[in-house]
Amino acid sequence: MSNKYVSPNTNLTAFNCPHCGVLAQQFWHYLYIELTKHTPPLHDIPPVRYETITRNYNSRQINTPPIQIQTPKYPFNNTCISSCYNCNQKAIWINKKMIYPFPNESSAPLPCENMPEEIKNIFTEARTIVDLSPKSAAALLRLALEKLLIHQGVNGKNLFEGIQKLITEKKLPEMIEQAANIIRHVGNNALHSGEIDLTDNIQTANTLFELINVIIDYTITKPQTIHRMHQNFSKKQQSNE
């Protein structure tokens, strides 16, 4: 199972890079406007700092020494850039929302290894739209979760009941029940697969991404790993006899 996924956010100094996917330190760069003769006047906006620049005004007739000019810098308050320590790629943010990379690359968790292909296709489709429509992504993820439960031989009346059965059968630890509560409809019965809950948001969608990865880790990846370990141990014992 991969390390915990941290969704990109302007309030964080480390998260999973939308380019390389690695959980890495992020460096933040803030933008400023430098006035030129072509810049329209910025009324009532005080500069945040002055920067000393050197300009050379040499011409063919007169060799003039360089002069220093105090250039005002005006803040670009709603725009910033993050750069990844691991891959050095940049992400652009406006009003705390990532606008690049988008939409080919997503801020959502990647599918874990050993995810069945049918579920992976739905999971990947949800990743491509989660930043644009978290509600639609969450509906797709509920469908993927239903497919996953069927893959495990579980057919409940709703998704929450299906996960409860996996817990009862000891295929999932009891702590998963806490995360599974995210798929329950507030004040009502659990939602069924593909249903849209108007209260869904990006946090709900990201929890569903992680929940599907965790269930696959416990029900598919870990059993396969243990089976492989047992086979290797058995072969070693046979060779020693």
Per-residue pLDDT of the chain (241 residues; tens, 9 = 90+): 445 678 788 999 999 888 888 889 999 998 877 666 666 665 555 555 545 544 454 445 455 555 555 566 677 778 899 999 999 999 999 888 888 886 555 668 888 888 999 999 999 999 888 878 888 888 888 888 888 888 888 876 677 788 888 888 888 888 887 766 665 543 334 455 555 666 677 777 888 898 889 889 988 988 888 888 878 877 777 776 6
Structure tokens given for 42: 């910025």
Close Cβ partners of 73 (under 8 Å, ≥ 6 residues apart)? 32, 33, 34, 47, 48, 49, 50, 51
pLDDT at 30: 84
pLDDT at 59: 47
pLDDT at 132: 81
pLDDT at 173: 84
Does pTM top 0.75 for this prediction?
A: no
For residues 83 and 90, the answer to whether their CB atoms sit within 8 Å is yes
The b-or-e profile of 91-109 (16+ CB within 10 A means b, else e) is bebeeeebeebbeebbbbb
pLDDT at 102: 66
Q: Which fold has domain 117-233?
A: Four Helix Bundle (Hemerythrin (Met), subunit A) (1.20.120)
pLDDT at 190: 42
pLDDT at 165: 86
pLDDT at 185: 47
Please, where in the chain does CATH 1.20.120 lie?
117-233
